[in-house]
Amino acid sequence: MEIPDEAILLIKVLVVEDSPVVREFLVHILGSDSDILVVGTANDGEEAIAAAERWQPDVITMDIHMPKLDGIEATRRIMETHPTPIVIVSGSTDPHEVATTFRATEAGALAVLRRPAGLGHPDHEATVRDLVRTVKLMSEVKVVRRWPRGARGVATPLLQVPDLGRALNKVNAVAIGASTGGPPVLQRILAALPKDFPVPILVVQHMAAGFIQGFVEWLAQSSSLPIHIATQAEYLLPGHVYVAPDDFQMKLGQGARIILARDPPENGLRPSVSALFRSLAEVYGGEVVACLLTGMGRDGAEELKLLRSKGATTFAQDKDSSVVHGMPGEAIRLDAASFVLPPEKIAAALISLVNAGKKEFTQ
């Protein structure tokens, strides 16, 4: 297949999927967009690696369960040889299978999406829009080569605590908001926290419906902290991680109890980071730490500024480590972030802040 000159400016996509029916479905969806050109398809992971080299696509959509070589290993090898933005497209919502799917983000995949619903399904148009939008967005991401596992001469950066100045305050809770590119960043942060971390952590991660349970199972595999989906009216416990469930706004109520509400979407999202951050400002004022990580849009940015105005210590992920710098970039533009840091320094700063605050207020 030769790419015509007039197609040079289009987004070139490689579709990797072992089911012929699903493969043609994805090709039809993506090919129907005037900005996208499907340059090739692959039936398994081995074909995907060869096709990535041949076609040099701008984006690859990747299945997970395939013969010969699965999508996780194919992703890993592509990122080691021909780094390309990879979007995992999954048809499963089984929590254990979803947890396995998120391993692809460890291998270098940028996003995990639900396979678009079929024609006639009430979610068809929304899921199609989500896939097309994500493919377009990921085409703009500059990925770097992943070194093979066990490669010599690749140093692991030391976990260094940034200079926090006088950012000392009592810390009653840590709140983290993330969207596109967030899962592996959250994994790195939570995995770096000790099992005796002394305050609760509340997390809003924008994600396709049906993936949260598997996401939590995947996070729990690398963290010493208890991680679970938040439930209505439960009390916050030190060192526990509470992840917002599908289709509820997760807020904090008086008495350190979680409120799950069917409030309207904010910034088009439910759960939204904005709803969580605003509730923390109402209950705890400045006695929290809040982080805004990689993601498209502006969810949580204004509320991060609100928390900072009340004396909270606030973080935004830096541009270089963000897949999409929309949310943290907007927070930086609003001067809502006390500190702008990469994930490993955010983790170190959280440990320093909560321990310093604990010492400050228990003397």
User: One of 90, 139, 179, 321 is an active-site residue; which one?
Assistant: 179
| 299 tagged catalytic | yes
Q: Which of 18, 21, 8, 107 is nearest to 58 (CA)?
A: 8
Told to judge if 179 belongs to the known catalytic residues of this protein, a careful annotator would answer yes
Exactly one of 90, 139, 206, 240 is catalytic; name it.
206
Q: Which residues contact 350 (CB under 8 A, 6 or more apart)?
A: 174, 189, 193, 197, 289, 291
Instruction: Write down the catalytic residue from 33, 299, 318, 322.
Output: 299
Q: SS3 of 96, please?
A: helix
The residue type found at 204 is: V
Nearest to 102 by CA among 90, 116, 91, 118: 90
Q: How would you class 21 by CB atoms within 10 Å of its CB: exposed for 0-12, middle for 13-18, buried for 19 or more?
A: exposed
Q: Find out whether 96 and 64 touch, Cβ atoms under 8 Å.
A: no
Q: Which residues pair with 89 in a beta bridge?
A: 113
Long-range Cβ contacts of 343-346 (<8 Å, 24+ apart) = 343/185, 343/188, 343/189, 343/293, 343/317, 344/157, 344/159, 344/188, 344/192, 345/159, 345/160, 345/161, 345/162, 346/189, 346/291, 346/315, 346/317
Task: Return all residues near 158 (Cβ < 8 A) that are at least 6 apart.
Answer: none
Q: Is 188 exposed, middle or buried (0-12, 13-18, 19+ CB in 10 A)?
A: middle
> What letter represents residue 276's amino acid?
L
Question: Residue 106 has which token pair?
Answer: 């460890």
User: Catalytic residue positions?
Assistant: 179, 206, 299
